[in-house]
């Protein structure tokens, strides 16, 4: 028989892990709400043109990583490789600017990039991200960094570093590129193939090269910050001031540039020492030209996205556990006659908010208690023929081993009370 497997670069997230995912998603919802962000949901695929225009043709995403296809009517569509372009499209299409001068939006969902899979890098991966549209002030850059930091702290993650840089704007970026090119030009033959390509198409990205061979030639590289125009310089200065005011630790990393072309001024990453080569958990920055680039007004914006796979990986590496929602009680009918009765009890408990499981198998009591232990339930309610006659089951406390008779008429109310007490509810 054929054994089917998941496509390369994708993975199943199994129940043992989804608990962590749900915890991360819930924390994001809570923390983002504290900063007045509201959720937006956009389609998983968009017109290809949106990404070509938004992300930039000389980026890796556009040149080699998109999942593009034609639908039955010959439309060119692409599975979204990132969230920002789609959020901006939706923002413009829904005329949100007319309703609010400043939009603070967040999103979550799968993204698709045809990358070489490795630990922490997948072809289908999941991001949670946020975008602030309509704010050019340096405070806003800092606020999203603060929110990212707040969120990671709320998850209990340790040993993360915030790296920031400025990649300039339309005015100073060409000067930065020229400086880089004239510095690296003499050593072009010594650089890796990717860098040589980028030298022509996207020289800033050369800074991102992790190849140790290339790194030897980067020593003495001109410092981007010295080439920034006055506006970008003062913006970068203000962002650092705000970060200091909020006591957020950061490092200025002059080699930090991001893989997407739309960034202007501030870029930042949250880095973990526990992720190997793919050490960026979260990346973002300012993109003051994108809204206009996509047909809207000249509107400054800033945002970030983090990858859930990488966050969950760090949580596992740091042994961060979260409570797993398990049934509170196992109904253990012994014999066919008791099954119907137990089913009614199980359903009544569930309707009153108590998570209940039932074991209607033909197994004996010993085996049922064993599976109750495995499930981690607090109680087992045993119903055999005698109990049916007496209308009174045996309630076993799995923690103490104590067992007592509880009448059918009292059972549901008693369990509900115990459950609420155990959860610390009144």
Residue 385 C-beta: closest distance to ligand AMP, Å: 56
CB contact set of 99 (below 8 Å; sequence gap of 6+): none
CB closer to ligand AMP, 320 vs 392:
320
d(CA 414, CA 417) in angstroms, rounded, equals 5
Residues that bind ligand AMP (CB under 6 A): 82, 113, 115, 120-122, 125, 127, 258-259, 280-283, 305-307, 309-310
Q: How far is CA 77 from CA 66, 73, 124, 261, 302, in A?
A: 10, 11, 17, 21, 26
Q: Is the backbone of residue 174 left (phi > 0), alpha (psi -120 to 50) or beta?
A: alpha
Q: Which long-range contacts (CB under 8 A, 24 or more apart) does 347-351 make?
A: 348/412, 349/412, 349/415, 349/416
> Does 2 appear as a known binding residue?
no
d(CA 137, CA 300) in angstroms, rounded, equals 9
Phi, psi at residue 164, to the nearest 5°? Answer: -130, 160
> Does 423 appear as a known binding residue?
no
CB closer to ligand AMP, 115 vs 161:
115
Residue 240 C-beta: closest distance to ligand AMP, Å: 21
Phi, psi at residue 166, to the nearest 5°? Answer: -125, 135
CB closer to ligand AMP, 283 vs 327:
283
Answer whether 409's CB lies under 8 Å from 390's CB: no
CB closer to ligand AMP, 51 vs 122:
122
How is residue 381 written in tokens? Answer: 């309610």
Which stretches of 113-155 are DSSP H helices? 138-155
Residue 129 C-beta: closest distance to ligand AMP, Å: 8
> Does 263 appear as a known binding residue?
yes
Residue 65 C-beta: closest distance to ligand AMP, Å: 9
d(CA 7, CA 19) in angstroms, rounded, equals 24
Query: What are the start-end ranges of the E strands in 208-292?
Result: 251-252, 264-272, 280-286
CB closer to ligand AMP, 59 vs 240:
59
Residue 274 C-beta: closest distance to ligand AMP, Å: 13
CB closer to ligand AMP, 115 vs 194:
115
Q: CB-side exposure of 201: number of CA atoms within 13 Å?
A: 16
Residue nearest to ligand AMP (CB): 307
> Does 114 appear as a known binding residue?
no
> Does 258 appear as a known binding residue?
yes
How is residue 405 written in tokens? Answer: 């008779």
CB contact set of 161 (below 8 Å; sequence gap of 6+): 249, 250, 251, 270, 271, 272, 273
Closest CA to 301 of 91, 67, 46, 80: 91
CB closer to ligand AMP, 180 vs 282:
282
CB closer to ligand AMP, 91 vs 306:
306
Annotated binding site for L-histidine: 82-84, 113, 127, 131, 258, 262-263
Residue ranges for the known binding site are 82-84, 113, 127, 131, 258, 262-263
């Amino acid at each position: 028989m054929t054994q089917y497997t998941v496509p390369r670069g994708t993975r199943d997230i199994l129940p043992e892990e989804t608990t962590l995912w749900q915890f991360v998603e819930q924390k994001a919802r809570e923390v983002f709400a504290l900063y007045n962000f509201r959720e937006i949901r956009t389609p998983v695929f968009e017109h290809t043109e949106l990404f070509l225009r938004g992300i930039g043709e000389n980026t890796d995403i556009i040149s080699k990583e998109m999942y593009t296809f034609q639908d039955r009517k010959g439309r060119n569509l692409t599975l979204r490789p990132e969230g920002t372009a789609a959020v901006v499209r939706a923002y413009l299409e829904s005329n949100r600017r007319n309703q609010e001068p400043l939009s603070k939006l967040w999103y979550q969902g799968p993204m698709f990039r045809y990358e070489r899979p490795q630990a922490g890098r997948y072809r289908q991966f999941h991001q949670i991200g946020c975008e602030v549209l309509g704010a050019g002030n340096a405070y806003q850059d800092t606020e999203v960094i603060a929110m990212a930091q707040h969120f990671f702290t709320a998850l209990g993650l340790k040993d993360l570093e915030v790296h920031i840089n400025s990649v300039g704007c339309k005015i100073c970026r060409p000067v930065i590129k020229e400086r880089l090119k004239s510095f690296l030009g003499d050593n072009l033959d010594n650089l890796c193939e990717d860098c040589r390509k980028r030298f022509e198409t996207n020289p800033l990205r050369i800074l991102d090269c992790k190849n140790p061979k290339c790194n030897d030639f980067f020593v003495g590289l001109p410092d981007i910050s010295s080439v920034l125009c006055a506006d970008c310089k003062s913006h970068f200065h203000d962002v650092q001031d705000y970060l200091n005011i909020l006591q957020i630790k950061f490092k200025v990393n002059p080699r930090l540039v991001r893989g997407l072309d739309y960034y202007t001024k501030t870029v930042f990453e949250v880095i973990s020492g526990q992720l190997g080569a793919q050490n960026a958990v979260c990346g973002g920055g300012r993109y003051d030209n994108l809204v206009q680039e996509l047909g809207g007004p000249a509107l400054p914006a800033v945002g970030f996205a983090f990858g859930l796979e990488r966050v969950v990986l760090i949580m596992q590496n740091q042994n961060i556990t979260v409570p797993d929602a398990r049934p509170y009680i196992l109904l253990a009918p012994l014999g066919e006659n008791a099954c119907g009765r137990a089913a009614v009890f199980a359903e009544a408990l569930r309707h009153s908010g108590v998570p209940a499981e039932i074991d209607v198998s033909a197994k004996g009591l010993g085996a049922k208690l064993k599976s109750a232990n495995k499930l981690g339930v607090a109680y087992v309610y045993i119903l055999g023929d005698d109990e049916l006659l007496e209308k009174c089951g045996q309630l076993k406390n799995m923690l103490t081993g104590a067992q007592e008779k509880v009448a059918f008429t009292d059972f549901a109310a008693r369990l509900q009370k115990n459950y609420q007490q155990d959860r610390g509810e009144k």
